């Protein structure tokens, strides 16, 4: 189970451009099987999703807006099912799964792996990706 928080911020685009809003998922944590490391260390993932806004006067309910919970569930499965070679791979896979959702136009993924006594410092990766036809 993971502790995380999410926020939504609307952005109005001038001149008829596509309306978007931002979903922030902060502090998602899960354990991962990391190649070359014993056990299952905890990883932290933060997401910034730029999502297509459904338009003026939309109701603020789950049917009208993007639900970040679907993505959180997919992140849980990703972390549980695969051996992760490193933070870059995890960031790439997380970005890929976010962009499978049609409403997600852009995603930024930040991944932090904990330090170990042998390595001294932790590792991390950040990636930003956009839909082919998106922002």
Tell if the pTM clears 0.85, that is, is over it: no
Distance CA 11, CA 74 (A): 26
CA dist 111 → 60, 65, 133, 134 (Å): 30, 26, 26, 23
Which tens digits make up the pLDDT trace of 3-28?
Answer: 565 554 544 445 556 788 899 999 99
- 109 membership: H or E segment, kind and range: strand 104-113
Which tens digits make up the pLDDT trace of 43-88?
Answer: 999 999 999 887 777 666 666 667 788 899 999 999 998 788 989 9
pLDDT exceeds 60 at position 114: yes
Q: Is the dihedral of CA 56, 57, 62, 64 positive or negative?
A: negative
């Amino acid at each position: 189970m993971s502790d995380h928080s999410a926020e939504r911020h609307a952005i109005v685009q001038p001149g008829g451009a596509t309306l978007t809003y931002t979903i922030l998922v902060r502090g998602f944590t899960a354990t991962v099987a990391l190649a070359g490391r014993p056990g299952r260390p905890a990883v932290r993932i933060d997401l910034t999703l730029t999502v297509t806004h459904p338009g003026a006067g939309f109701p603020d309910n789950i049917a009208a807006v993007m639900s970040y919970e679907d993505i959180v569930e997919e992140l849980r499965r990703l972390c549980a099912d695969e051996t992760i070679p490193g933070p870059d791979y995890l960031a790439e896979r997380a970005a890929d799964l976010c962009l499978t959702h049609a409403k997600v136009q852009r995603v930024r993924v930040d991944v932090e792996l904990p330090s170990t006594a042998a390595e001294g410092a932790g590792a991390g990766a950040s990636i930003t990706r956009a839909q082919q036809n998106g922002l």
